[in-house]
């Protein structure tokens, strides 16, 4: 909060607060700052102080004043011509129009920056991972110690590793995939630097700038941003409780001939939905009929039942490419992900990996293989699921008690909550209280205003947060 005992003036403190948020993309280019009167009321200062702070931001080139409209964060990023994305089917109805090619979208990066820029020591309901204390273990350090003897360290560190990834880990992953009925031999598996890297390899291998890609909406904000930065044309597919909207997918296929469909089948982010068998079969029929690949992002597999419906299991890795990782359940900073791919595209995917990263760190990959083979990862995941069940129950009670509603049945790590107010505005107000939220607009390609937000059940079970949330929401 602003304080009159600081060595900085109120004007300098206020300008510095907005400047920090702009630098960290917590206020994205194009975002509107609160009106002078509203900001003065929120911060408990005079309008003169706000005007002076906004003038400092203007002088620093961080914001721009728009006549009779207010102050906006300056967008200095270059954009590509929309004409570059024009093509057949642009005369279709609005639901069928792909998003135009643009430069790197800054809006979604606010969530990325928030992952590395802690607002305070308070629990952060907008975060996408478990709290560090949930993932603490003794078996992870033990697995690394086993491999740091002089001989093992030299063997794994003093030369490039295997191009596809450590063979021990690929064997372990092959057995793990068998348990969920995904048929992948070690020779079909490529390790990556996290699941996001795997998704990027697929995009760079199978797509070219301007290609249409179907992506579920609401969906992972980073995936929209990543595809846009590569110049792809995004076709948002509404996500339903049983799977993607099949009618919209069919119309996209007829109008745009998409090259790829990106889906989170199990414990979808942010809704928590899981794919139904009937919907899965129809998606695969569309893929075969219209000749596109499917990337199945199973990032939350460790939290889901083994019998959950997966496209890769039904398809047998013919048109599907299975992607997953271990950041959500084990160690975010180990950055170990992988993909299992059809034989006909495996070599191309491997070549892209080699061109972008050469190989991946064998030391941590071998350590992870040991964790899997010894059953340590499975037991750890079992403990996390039990703890998450309790946190989810407590969070749901708190959310309902503070007049929120769940748009989807609470499941997995995330809840999709209707707050009743504009969550973009709410997010900026909650930053003043030390809390980072994930507003609903982040999970849509066009970023429309939304009253929804995604909450992390593990970090939103704090009663103090909900009391603060209710107070701030009622003032928005």
CATH topology of domain 10-73: Arc Repressor Mutant, subunit A (1.10.10)
Confidence class for position 267, pLDDT limits 50, 70, 90? very high
In this structure, the dihedral spanned by the alpha carbons of residues 221, 226, 229 and 235, taken in order and rounded to 10 degrees, is: -70
pLDDT at 292: 98
Interaxial angle between packed helices 195-206 and 343-357, expressed in degrees from 0 to 180 and rounded to the nearest 10:
110
- From residue 373, alpha-carbon distances to 163, 182, 326 in Å are 22, 18, 15
Lowest mean pLDDT among 40-44, 210-214, 268-272: 40-44
* CA 404-468-400 angle, 5° bins: 20
Q: Is the pLDDT of residue 78 over 60?
A: no
Mean pLDDT, range 351-363, rounded to an integer: 91
Alpha helices in 108-267 (DSSP H): 109-116, 132-135, 139-146, 150-157, 167-178, 195-206, 221-229, 246-256
Q: What residues contact residue 126 under an 8 Å CB cut-off, 6+ apart? A: 111, 114, 427, 435, 436, 437, 438, 453, 454, 455, 456
Q: Where are the domains of the chain?
A: 10-73, 109-128+379-475, 139-374
pLDDT at 97: 62
Q: Is the pLDDT of residue 229 over 60?
A: yes
Question: What is the separation, in whole angstroms, between the first and last Cα of the chain?
Answer: 18
Burial label, 322 (beta-carbon count in 10 A; 0-12, 13-18, 19+): buried
pLDDT at 145: 86
Q: Is the pLDDT of residue 117 over 90?
A: no
Based on its alpha-carbon atoms, the radius of gyration of the chain, rounded to whole angstroms, reads: 23
Q: Which pairing describes strands 337-340 and 189-192: parallel, antiparallel, or unpaired?
A: antiparallel
Decide if 270 contacts 454 (C-beta within 8 A).
yes
Confidence class for position 96, pLDDT limits 50, 70, 90? low
pLDDT at 170: 98
Q: Could you write out the DSSP letters of every residue in 348-380?
A: HHHHHHHHHHSS--HHHHHHHHHHHHTTHHHHH
pTM: 0.84
pLDDT tens digit string along 308-346?
999 999 999 999 999 999 999 988 888 999 999 999 999
Mean pLDDT, range 190-215, rounded to an integer: 96
pLDDT at 233: 95
Decide if 454 contacts 402 (C-beta within 8 A).
no
Q: Could you write out the DSSP letters of every residue in 55-118?
A: HHHHHTTSEEEETTTEEEE--------GGGG--TTTTS-GGGPPPPP-S--STTHHHHHHHHS-
How many angstroms separate the CA atoms of 343 and 188, rounded? 6
Q: Which of 289, 226, 224, 298 is nearest to 263 (CA)?
A: 298
Mean pLDDT, range 87-108, rounded to an integer: 47
pLDDT at 79: 42
pLDDT at 334: 86
Confidence class for position 93, pLDDT limits 50, 70, 90? very low
Decide if 9 contacts 52 (C-beta within 8 A).
no
Percent of the chain at pLDDT above 90? 67
Taken as a whole, the chain contains a residue count of 476
Q: Which residue has the higher pLDDT, 431 or 298?
A: 298
Q: What is the DSSP letter of 239?
A: B
pLDDT at 417: 98
**Per-chain mean pLDDT for the chain:** 88
Q: Is the pLDDT of residue 32 over 70?
A: yes
pLDDT at 119: 61
Mean pLDDT, range 143-159, rounded to an integer: 75
For the segment(s) 139-374, the CATH number from 3.40.640.10, 1.20.140.10, 2.60.130.10, 2.60.120.10 is: 3.40.640.10
Going by CATH, does the domain composed of 109-128+379-475 fall within 3.90.1150.10?
yes
Sign of CA dihedral 204, 209, 214, 219: positive
Q: Which residue has the higher pLDDT, 304 or 447?
A: 304
pLDDT tens digit string along 390-407?
999 999 999 999 999 999
Decide if 414 contacts 455 (C-beta within 8 A).
yes
pLDDT tens digit string along 373-386?
999 999 999 999 99
Q: What is the DSSP letter of 158?
A: S
pLDDT at 87: 38
- From residue 42, alpha-carbon distances to 181, 194, 437 in Å are 54, 40, 18
Confidence class for position 172, pLDDT limits 50, 70, 90? very high
Interaxial angle between packed helices 36-43 and 47-59, expressed in degrees from 0 to 180 and rounded to the nearest 10:
110
Burial label, 41 (beta-carbon count in 10 A; 0-12, 13-18, 19+): middle
Mean pLDDT, range 135-146, rounded to an integer: 90
Mean pLDDT, range 262-286, rounded to an integer: 97
């Amino acid at each position: 909060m602003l304080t009159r005992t600081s060595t900085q003036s109120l004007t300098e403190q206020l300008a510095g607060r907005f400047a920090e948020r702009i630098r960290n993309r917590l206020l994205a280019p194009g975002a509107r700052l609160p009106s002078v009167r509203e900001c003065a009321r929120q911060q408990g200062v005079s309008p003169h102080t706000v005007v002076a702070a906004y003038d400092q931001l203007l002088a620093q080139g961080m914001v721009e004043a728009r006549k009779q409209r207010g102050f906006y964060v300056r967008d200095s990023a270059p954009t590509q011509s929309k004409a570059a994305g024009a093509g057949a089917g642009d005369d279709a109805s609005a639901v069928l129009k792909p998003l135009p090619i643009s430069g790197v979208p800054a809006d979604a990066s606010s969530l990325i920056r928030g992952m590395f820029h802690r607002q305070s020591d308070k629990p952060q309901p907008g975060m996408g991972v478990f709290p560090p204390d949930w993932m603490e273990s003794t078996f992870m350090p033990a697995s690394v110690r086993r491999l740091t003897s002089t001989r093992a360290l030299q063997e794994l560190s003093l030369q490039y590793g295997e191009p596809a990834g450590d063979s021990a880990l690929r064997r372990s992953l092959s057995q793990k995939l068998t348990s969920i009925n995904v048929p992948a031999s070690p020779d079909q598996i490529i390790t990556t630097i996290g699941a996001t890297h795997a998704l990027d390899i697929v995009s760079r291998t199978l797509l070219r700038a301007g290609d249409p890609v179907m992506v579920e909406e609401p969906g992972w904000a980073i995936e929209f941003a990543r595809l846009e930065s590569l110049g792809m044309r995004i076709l948002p597919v509404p996500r339903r409780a049983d799977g993607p909207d099949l009618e919209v997918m069919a119309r996209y296929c007829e109008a745009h001939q998409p090259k790829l469909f990106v889906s989170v089948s199990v414990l979808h982010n942010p809704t928590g939905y899981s794919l139904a068998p009937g919907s899965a079969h129809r998606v695969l029929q569309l893929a075969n009929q219209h000749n596109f690949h499917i990337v199945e992002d199973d990032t939350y597999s460790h939290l889901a039942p083994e019998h959950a419906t997966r496209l890769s299991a039904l398809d047998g890795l013919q048109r599907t490419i299975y992607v997953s990782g271990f950041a959500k359940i084990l160690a975010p900073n180990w950055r170990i992900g992988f993909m299992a791919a059809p034989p006909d595209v495996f070599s191309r995917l491997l070549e892209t990996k080699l061109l972008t990263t050469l190989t991946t760190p064998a030391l941590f990959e071998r350590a992870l293989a040991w964790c899997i083979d010894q059953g340590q990862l499975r037991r750890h995941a079992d403990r996390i699921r039990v703890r998450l069940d309790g946190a989810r129950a407590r969070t749901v009670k708190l959310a309902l008690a503070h007049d929120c509603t769940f748009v989807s049945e609470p499941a997995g790590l995330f809840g999709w909550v209707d707050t009743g107010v504009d969550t973009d505005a709410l997010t900026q107000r909650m930053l003043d209280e030390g809390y980072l939220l994930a507003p609903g607009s982040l999970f849509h390609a066009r970023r429309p205003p939304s009253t929804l937000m995604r909450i992390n059940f593990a970090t939103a079970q704090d009663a103090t947060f909900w009391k603060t949330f209710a107070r701030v929401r009622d003032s928005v």
